[in-house]
Structure 1
């Protein structure tokens, strides 16, 4: 589904963020990117949807070469890639429903969205998604009145309203407490399973990555140093990824059975699938 071949990124300062990245992500797979700060995780995700321009290599989604697209072609490609951000990227003065409906901007255009003239089928789907993420009771709340976990759920619903084929998730639990972090990761995993979506999740929490991802890719200094199943992530491999530390590779306290998972500017960012 998604393939990266020889992808690299060098900034004008000369700093190299990514080097020779080769990856293939099949449909329906949830991949976690782990690694120390500055390893290139966010850069890799943003190269896929061209929020960051790769310096070299090829990125293909269902056979379409993304690195050569521009204008309308790039906007169409971005519609198929839902982005979920660490800092939520909501418009605080808008309601929950309005923020979710902004996920359709790539389809309905600016002026129809400006006057809140979304097609009825989009509004119905937004209602369904908000019910699915547990926010159907908060449709008319302003985004700045929500908790961190609720704001992330709005971001998830907005990304899914794009009808994406791929989810790009950038540190979704960085600002959340441990319980809410598990709930958000479980929700993303379940939604990917329900919709047959592939996902790349940049995450710092190794335990969450092992618990909820099908596959883990470890980056260090812009290079892939591990690519395998969560069960293969040993203490030695964690040392290779992060450096010396006393690693305990257990996931952590067992969850209750009913909680287990099945196997910028805010407005600009919200429009990233439509106008960049």
Structure 2
């Protein structure tokens, strides 16, 4: 379980990116983190694993106080926190398999990692993960030969190779088309359910968040202004978070895309 207690981030300029943010995420729950640009979403994600140092407050992962750890302890703790990035953060000249195995760098010695000599069980697990994300036939391809959706699947497999206790996911669909975005969100949610993994997804697409996450936290100016189930996220709440927008039209367009995708899948299944 992840527990965030009164987390605050104040920059040297005096600007507050986070203002006493508190919440818990139990095992297996997928949380969508929404809000306008500058609301503090990415800062919150990065404060949890201390890529950004919080000014005040605590972050506890299964009772381990992440915020209180020295450098060595933080490196070990980060093994338990899988991070999936918007821009994939792959080493493009390396193969898909090598990128997945890079998720094990925190567990192997320097020379093994330098020479890319990973234990056999790590390699076997990487193959299983590539099969799970639908890329088993691409294991030997260079990362720069993949599509955006395939690169994001590699990022998911790499994060899972850490055998994490928590997933932090920063804008996983921002660079993807609508169909691929739904596929990636569906894959993340299914994997979290299979493994009992808690996850926080920083996502700009409100409709996707409502379709796929179990809980939504809305940030505005560094503060939580909504925390509840997707069905409670009505037009009034969304307007409080983002301002005026035609939310009904946005939902209708997303539903039409979803129905079209399902119809196409059913037609393909009927042709097999």
TM-score by structure 1 length?
0.91
Root-mean-square deviation (CA, aligned residues, Å) is 1.3
Say whether residues 1:12 and 2:12 are aligned partners.
Answer: yes
SS at match of 1:167: strand
Counterpart residue number, 1:274: none
Separation in structure 2 between the aligned mates of residue 97 and residue 117 of structure 1, nearest angstrom = 12
Separation in structure 1 between the aligned mates of residue 181 and residue 129 of structure 2, nearest angstrom = 19
Q: How far does residue 257 in structure 1 lie from its aligned partner after superposition?
A: 8.2
Q: Deviations over 1:140-166 (max 9, x none)?
A: 111111110010000000000000010
Q: How far does residue 71 in structure 1 lie from its aligned partner after superposition?
A: 2.0
Q: How far does residue 74 in structure 1 lie from its aligned partner after superposition?
A: 0.6
Q: How far does residue 117 in structure 1 lie from its aligned partner after superposition?
A: 1.0
Q: How far does residue 207 in structure 1 lie from its aligned partner after superposition?
A: 0.8
Separation in structure 1 between the aligned mates of residue 140 and residue 3 of structure 2, nearest angstrom = 40
Q: Give runs of aligned pairs for residues 211-226 of structure 1, distance below 5 A.
A: 211-226=211-226
SS at match of 2:169: strand
Q: Give runs of aligned pairs for residues 32-111 of structure 1, distance below 5 A.
A: 32-111=32-111
Separation in structure 1 between the aligned mates of residue 87 and residue 69 of structure 2, nearest angstrom = 28
Unaligned runs of 5+ in 1: 260-276
Q: Give runs of aligned pairs for residues 77-226 of structure 1, distance below 5 A.
A: 77-226=77-226
SS at match of 1:20: strand
SS at match of 2:67: coil
Q: Deviations over 1:165-214 (max 9, x none)?
A: 10000000000000000000000000001111000000000111001100
**Which range moves more in the overlay, 85-94 or 65-74?**
65-74
Q: Which structure is higher in helix share?
A: 2
Separation in structure 2 between the aligned mates of residue 110 and residue 138 of structure 1, nearest angstrom = 27
Separation in structure 2 between the aligned mates of residue 22 and residue 124 of structure 1, nearest angstrom = 39
Counterpart residue number, 1:252: 255
Separation in structure 1 between the aligned mates of residue 85 and residue 127 of structure 2, nearest angstrom = 21
Separation in structure 1 between the aligned mates of residue 245 and residue 150 of structure 2, nearest angstrom = 34
Q: Deviations over 1:55-76 (max 9, x none)?
A: 0001111111111102221111
| Corresponding residue pairs, total | 259
Separation in structure 2 between the aligned mates of residue 71 and residue 18 of structure 1, nearest angstrom = 23
Q: How far does residue 122 in structure 1 lie from its aligned partner after superposition?
A: 0.3
Separation in structure 2 between the aligned mates of residue 108 and residue 116 of structure 1, nearest angstrom = 10
Separation in structure 1 between the aligned mates of residue 141 and residue 10 of structure 2, nearest angstrom = 42
Q: Which has more radius of gyration?
A: 2
TM-score by structure 2 length?
0.93
Q: How far does residue 86 in structure 1 lie from its aligned partner after superposition?
A: 0.2
Q: Deviations over 1:115-160 (max 9, x none)?
A: 1110000000000000111111111111111110010000000000
Q: How far does residue 109 in structure 1 lie from its aligned partner after superposition?
A: 2.8
Separation in structure 2 between the aligned mates of residue 116 and residue 174 of structure 1, nearest angstrom = 31
